[in-house]
Amino acid sequence: MSQLNPNNYEPSLELLNNQRHSLALRVDSANSDVYLECSSRLALREFALSLLDLATNGGGSDEFYPLGMEESWLVVNGARLTEGSSRLFLTYPETNELS
């Protein structure tokens, strides 16, 4: 598969095949606010499903980042971040307990 997805969650074919579904992550350096701009509800849904998978199956840390290849942006860990997006680093307990 040409998309990078090391977790159990498999992104939908619509997300994988349609570049219009993307996220842009921006940090306002003036006040440290973080903005997540979703081009579609599907992009938001797929990102949320990826986070849910990490909550139950993840290994303690993950990263979401923009990755361009041949003039297109790839889906990494269930999200397609646009060019110029900030990277998102997640850390969480490695235990499988949801407490």
Total tally of structural domains belonging to the chain: 1
Q: pLDDT tens across 38-89, in order?
A: 999 999 999 999 999 888 888 889 999 999 988 889 999 889 999 999 999 9
pLDDT above 60 (res 5): no
Asked whether residue 98 is domain-assigned, the answer is no
Is residue 94 predicted with pLDDT exceeding 50?
A: yes
**Residue 5 resides in a domain:** no
pLDDT one-digit tens code per residue, 10-35: 899 999 999 999 999 999 999 999 99
Residue 50 lies inside a defined structural domain of this protein? yes
Q: What does the CA dihedral 42, 89, 36, 75 come to, rounded to 10 degrees?
A: -30
The partner residues of 23 in beta bridges, in order of sequence, read 38, 81
Tell me, yes or no, whether 4 lies in a domain: no
Pairing type for strands 68-69 and 72-73 reads antiparallel
Question: Token digits for 24?
Answer: 């842009």
The pLDDT score that the predictor gives to residue 2 is 40
d(CA 81, CA 88): 10
Domain membership of residue 7 (yes or no) is no
CA 3 remoteness from chain centre: 12
Question: pTM score > 0.95 for this model?
Answer: no
Range of the domain at 66: 13-91
The H or E element that residue 35 is part of is: strand 34-38
